[in-house]
Amino acid sequence: MSVIAIVLVFGSVDPRKAVDVISHASPGWLLIAAAFLAVDLVVRAARWRVLLAPIRDVPLGATLAYLLVGYLANNVLPARLGELVRCHYMGDRQGLSRATVLGTVVVERVVDIAVVVAIAAVAILVLSVRGTVASAVLVGLAIGVLLAVALAIGIAAHRLPGADRVARAAERWPQVRDVTSRLRAGLAVAGRPRTLAMALALTGVAWAATLLAFAAAGQAVGVELTIGQASLLASGVALASAIPAGPASLGTFELAAVRIGQALGVASASAFAIGLLVHGAILIITSAGGVVALVRLGWRRPTEPQAAAAAATSDAD
């Protein structure tokens, strides 16, 4: 997917014009964009902490560190496998079931997609955008609905018809039963109205920071994006980045920026520059932050008595 996206990008963008646009980018506006992206990361860490709260009260600093380690892994692993890395890392150091932590990440992803699709849909209506971009958002809406339904089924699976028979059959595979039970414990946080409402509110704040980062990147290259245009650009790129691709969503991020920019009447070179500058800032911030978090937390699992006791308690549960 990344290779195809890169080929399509360079088939529609003049590299010399793109380099010229990027070379004349305003450093001040780029710093502002980076600041908004940093705010986005902190708010996302706060959202994850809210989702984890019914299971374990994890300090914001630690939650941010685990999140950054996952983002660092996303930058070097394909198909967003960093999500699994952060689940493993948090479970390993907090004495939590990795499957339970994964359940909270699944809820996080569903909430993210729901908010992103809503932002894109409103932007399309306001800007009266048609064509491929509008169709892509409709596909994203359909996927979001399917994910929400799947999440609801996962939470209420034990109440569905035939659940007893499935539970009895699962007794033959204790490990599968235990992992499923722990995963459902993580998914169950979505069944708490207050927790879900706070997660949705924080997601809205995070995406507000992201779209302002795109607007600042536009200013850096001399393109004045309206809030609606920045919203569609940020949400459309996010939907494209959700497609499994190479490390750091290389190619798909830039292709979405170019195609959406063209739909908004922005020159291809400028749209590519905006996408590349924002993407580059995200990679620099998450990579640097991830390395710092990794050095601070250590690569190996801690062996202190307190950590070992917490792990033993989790295994007993």
Question: Could you give the C-alpha distances from 71 to 23, 47, 223, 238, in angstroms and in order?
Answer: 27, 15, 29, 14
Q: What is the H or E stretch that residue 167 is in? A: helix 163-170
Contacts of 199 (CB under 8 A, 6+ apart): 47, 50, 51, 107, 108, 111
pLDDT at 223: 97
| Predicted confidence pLDDT, tens digits, the chain (317 residues) | 899 999 999 999 999 999 999 999 999 999 999 999 999 999 999 999 999 999 999 999 999 999 999 999 999 999 889 999 999 999 989 999 999 999 999 999 999 998 998 999 899 989 988 877 777 766 766 776 777 777 777 666 655 565 455 555 656 676 767 888 898 899 999 999 999 999 999 999 999 999 999 999 999 999 999 999 999 999 999 988 888 899 999 999 999 999 999 999 999 999 999 999 999 999 999 999 999 999 988 766 655 434 433 443 444 34
Its pTM stands at 0.89
Q: What residue spans define the domains of the chain?
A: 2-316
User: How far apart, in whole angstroms, are the C-alpha atoms of residue 97 and residue 174?
Assistant: 15
Which of 98, 95, 97, 139 lies closest to 116 in space, CA to CA?
A: 139
Q: Which two tokens stand for residue 274?
A: 């905006």
Q: Which two tokens stand for residue 76?
A: 């070097």
